[in-house]
Amino acid sequence: MSKSKVKYVCSSCGHESLRWLGKCPSCGEWNSFSEEIVETKKKTARQAAESDIKKLSGDSGDEEKRIKTNIEEFDRVLGGGLIYGSVVLIGGDPGIGKSTLVMQAAEKADGRTLYVTGEESIRQINIRAKRLGVKSENLFLLAETDLDVIKDGILKSEADIVIIDSIQTINNPALDNAPGTVSQIRESTAELLRLAKTKEIVVILIGHVTKEGYIAGPKILEHIVDTVLQFEGEKNYSYRILRAQKNRFGSANEIGIFEMREDGLRQVKNPSEIFIGEREEEISGSVITASIEGTRPVLLEVQALVTPSHFGNPQRVATGFDYRRLSILLAVLEKRAKLRLSTANVFLNMAGGIKIDEPAIDLAVCVSIASSLTNRAARSDYVVIGEVGLGGEVRSVGRLDKRIQEAEKLGFGNIIVPKNNLKQKPKTSTINVIPAESILQAIDIVLR
């Protein structure tokens, strides 16, 4: 009996080595190498036929043929719906609602759907469907982990949409490695991709995530698929955000917002009202700002709490905001606005559990910190927008017209904007637009 050859593969990036390494030389991850059996495959030469070579017609009509899930938030993130022949990868923390989302989409989608589960039995799926109120004549179930059986089931079902829950449980019998290993995930995904392209069907893969929040498996997996979606949210909040990280057929900046209830996920069509609905108006450290998520303007509340530090190193804690960006803004406030923050604890929070990395909310962060430090409440009918430079200047932001329209729709009477953005005010808007050149000027205007 011949001895099997082994190799060591990094579970984060797919880097291969003949011996085990403590640190991956490619991605820098520690203890990420796992042992796998080397698979030897006979390669057969294939020549391109004349029918394989096509001329670029320039006709984009086929690109618009999409399958609607009829869930507006889901379709927006996808770019208008599912493209025939595409593969979509959805990742998220355990229990966040990935299976719930795809099951509700399968019920309402325009087409036959085959739900392949490798983690639950048919009986368990039926129990969950009953709890969610999912009933559909076009939804079929298959409890299987063998890739060959799954491919045969896909062809027999004549489904338009195939959901694989999850890709880590699929076993390719051509490989001797265990399910969930790098080789199994990569080869199984590649087989499903070929099936999707040749049969013009949509394949939705549900993927596990690592403790750092990244989709488990090699990074090459994200390059194979057409669309990568991240389903995220704080466990202590009922709101979930579907965010596109990669999309070959639409914008990669769109988000969809959902609320998790006992009977499943519900769309949040006006998130601004939710994120600012519980705001305390007469409290220091609270400022309203307007962010752009994809093509959608969202009003949200920035909360800051500044307290004296009785220890050597003051704390800096940011929830939903970049910690390094917060450190820069604190330095700008201390240098340009003469606010002493080096001996104070600073806690920053984006209300509602949403994560924002847009620089247009810099000015609101600075004003909220100044408000808490001086114990002066911000005016309740003001919205603050602007990027802050290292010199303390307020820099211009993009798509100001949408931000102004959202603030006006929710009843705000005043909005602080960068001076260079003043020309972008919509002509039909009646909101009072106040230009600001520096953070000091904005603080003086907004704080009581």
How crowded is residue 189: how many other Cβ atoms within 10 Å of its Cβ?
A: 25
Q: Does residue 252 fall inside a structural domain? A: yes
Asked whether residue 13 falls in the same domain as residue 85, the answer is no
Kindly report the CATH number assigned to the domain that includes residue 114: 3.40.50.300
Task: State the chain's mean pLDDT as an integer.
Answer: 87
**Highest-pLDDT range among 110-119, 201-210, 348-357:** 110-119
The DSSP-derived string for 189-247 is HHHHHHHHHHHT-EEEEEE-B-TTSSBSS-THHHHHSSEEEEEE--TTSSEEEEEEEEE
Asked whether residue 148 falls in the same domain as residue 193, the answer is yes
Does the pLDDT value for residue 181 go beyond 50? Answer: yes
Task: For residues 199-203, give the mean pLDDT.
Answer: 95
Question: So what's the pLDDT on residue 1?
Answer: 41
Question: So what's the pLDDT on residue 238?
Answer: 81
Name the least confident of 14-23, 226-235, 269-278, 283-292: 269-278
Asked whether residue 260 falls in the same domain as residue 294, the answer is no
Across the strands, what pairs with 243? 230, 255
Asked whether residue 287 falls in the same domain as residue 345, the answer is yes
Asked whether residue 209 falls in the same domain as residue 265, the answer is yes
Asked whether residue 306 falls in the same domain as residue 194, the answer is no
Question: What distance in Å separates the CA atoms of residue 63 and residue 253, rounded to the nearest whole number?
Answer: 20
Q: Does residue 278 fall inside a structural domain? A: yes
Q: Does residue 263 fall inside a structural domain? A: yes
Q: Does residue 61 fall inside a structural domain? A: no
Q: Does residue 439 fall inside a structural domain? A: yes
Question: So what's the pLDDT on residue 204?
Answer: 96
pLDDT band at 2 (very low <50, low <70, confident <90, very high): very low
Kindly report the CATH number assigned to the domain that includes residue 434: 3.30.230.10
Q: Does residue 51 fall inside a structural domain? A: no
Question: What distance in Å separates the CA atoms of residue 445 and residue 81, rounded to the nearest whole number?
Answer: 45
Asked whether residue 224 falls in the same domain as residue 352, the answer is no
Copy the structure tokens of residue 36: 């796998």
Task: For residues 128-138, give the mean pLDDT.
Answer: 91
Which structural domain, as residue segments, surrounds residue 403? 273-446
pLDDT band at 218 (very low <50, low <70, confident <90, very high): low
Asked whether residue 235 falls in the same domain as residue 255, the answer is yes
For the stretch 346-391, pLDDT in tens is 999 998 778 888 999 999 999 999 999 999 999 989 999 999 999 9
For the stretch 90-100, pLDDT in tens is 998 888 899 99
Q: What is the count of structural domains for the chain?
A: 3
Asked whether residue 23 falls in the same domain as residue 148, the answer is no
Asked whether residue 347 falls in the same domain as residue 433, the answer is yes
